[in-house]
């Protein structure tokens, strides 16, 4: 299940929901808001999504991961709203019988989510400036 | 024909709106984007924007129909 969330991400609760007696591996990834980007101090990040299509595309990515890797469970959440340094922006969790599939699937999912899901982020800098990432035109 | 356009992120800020319904003769998302870009001075060139029609990704050359809801998707930056 992939969803866009306006509420803060709770990794422990999300991981607990993947509990499976058949699983020998659980790999999770959590993306945090970092205090700098490209050498510029960052104060906060604002995330926005086209939620209906983001959730559709996210579900497609999870389905692809299930096809490519021998998984038992899979879930991912992307946060939207105004986030402070250290807050969780995205979480991915997968379970599998063995670690290889779990590591590979987790990496696949986060890479595809970042490349394909209609989510945008705006960085607010210590200088007072702000910018939508990947949208610079010069 | 009338279509509805929803704006997100950079385009929402540059348009100053989240949504509008407008009259257009643009046959495709690509043509509609050029029309809006000229009118509102959007900074993103057409080749950096994807289109969605009625909640699903669509080709820039797809046919627009009356009543469609169109979203122009700036370069994504999740994570």
Chain B residues 3-62 within an 8 A CB cutoff of chain A: 6, 8-10, 12-13, 43-45, 48, 52, 55-57
Token readout for B28 is 């495709």
Confidence of residue A137 (pLDDT cuts 50, 70, 90): confident
A96, β-bridge pairs: A25, A71
Are residues B8 and A135, on separate chains, in Cβ contact within 8 Å?
Answer: no
Cβ-based contacts of B74 with chain A (< 8 Å) = 120, 132, 134-135
Helices (H) and strands (E) in chain A, counts: 3, 9
Task: State percent of chain A over pLDDT 70.
Answer: 99
Is residue A46 within 8 Å of residue A81, measured between CB atoms?
yes
What is the C-alpha separation between A81 and A47, in angstroms, rounded? 5
| Average pLDDT score, chain A | 97
Secondary-structure class of domain A2-30+40-77+92-129 per CATH: alpha beta
The DSSP letter of residue A135 is -
Q: What is the rounded average pLDDT of the residues B2-27?
A: 98
What is the model's pLDDT at position A138?
65
Are residues A56 and B44, on separate chains, in Cβ contact within 8 Å?
Answer: no
Who among B6, B44, B78 is closest to A90 (CB)?
A: B78
Contacts of A77 (CB under 8 A, 6+ apart): A2, A3, A4, A5, A9, A14, A90, A91
ipTM: 0.95
Are residues B79 and A31, on separate chains, in Cβ contact within 8 Å?
Answer: yes
Q: Domains, chain B, ranges and CATH? A: 2-73 (3.10.20.30)
What is the model's pLDDT at position A105?
98
Confidence of residue B2 (pLDDT cuts 50, 70, 90): very high
Strands B2-6 and A36-37: unpaired
Task: State percent of chain B over pLDDT 70.
Answer: 100
- Give backbone dihedrals phi and psi of B36, rounded to 5 degrees, phi first: -70, -35
Q: What is the rounded average pLDDT of the residues A7-24?
A: 98
Task: State percent of chain A over pLDDT 90.
Answer: 95
Are residues B77 and A118, on separate chains, in Cβ contact within 8 Å?
Answer: no
CA atoms within 13 A on the CB side of B10: 27
Q: Which of A117, A51, A62 is nearest to A93 (CA)?
A: A62
What is the model's pLDDT at position A129?
94
Is residue A43 within 8 Å of residue A94, measured between CB atoms?
no
Q: What is the pLDDT of residues A49-78, one digit of tens each?
A: 999 999 999 999 999 999 999 999 999 999
């Amino acid at each position: 299940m992939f969803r866009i969330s306006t509420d803060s991400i709770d990794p422990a609760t999300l991981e607990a929901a993947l509990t499976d007696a058949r699983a020998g591996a659980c790999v999770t990834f959590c993306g945090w808001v970092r205090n700098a980007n490209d050498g510029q101090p960052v104060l906060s990040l604002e995330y926005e999504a086209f939620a209906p299509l983001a959730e559709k595309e996210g579900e497609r990515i999870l389905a692809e991961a299930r096809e490519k890797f021998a998984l038992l469970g899979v879930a991912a959440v992307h946060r939207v709203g105004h986030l402070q340094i250290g807050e969780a922006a995205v979480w991915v969790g997968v379970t599998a019988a063995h670690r290889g599939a779990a590591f590979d699937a987790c990496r696949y999912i986060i890479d595809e989510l970042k490349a394909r899901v209609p989510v945008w982020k705006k960085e607010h800098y210590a200088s007072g400036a702000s910018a939508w990432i990947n949208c610079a035109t010069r | 024909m009338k279509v509805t356009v929803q704006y997100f992120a950079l385009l929402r800020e540059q348009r100053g709106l989240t949504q509008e319904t407008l009259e257009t003769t643009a046959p495709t998302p690509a043509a509609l984007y050029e029309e809006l870009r000229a009118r509102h001075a959007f900074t993103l060139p057409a080749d950096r924007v994807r289109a969605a029609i009625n909640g699903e990704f669509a080709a820039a050359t797809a046919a627009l129909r009356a009543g469609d809801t169109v979203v122009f998707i700036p370069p994504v930056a999740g994570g």
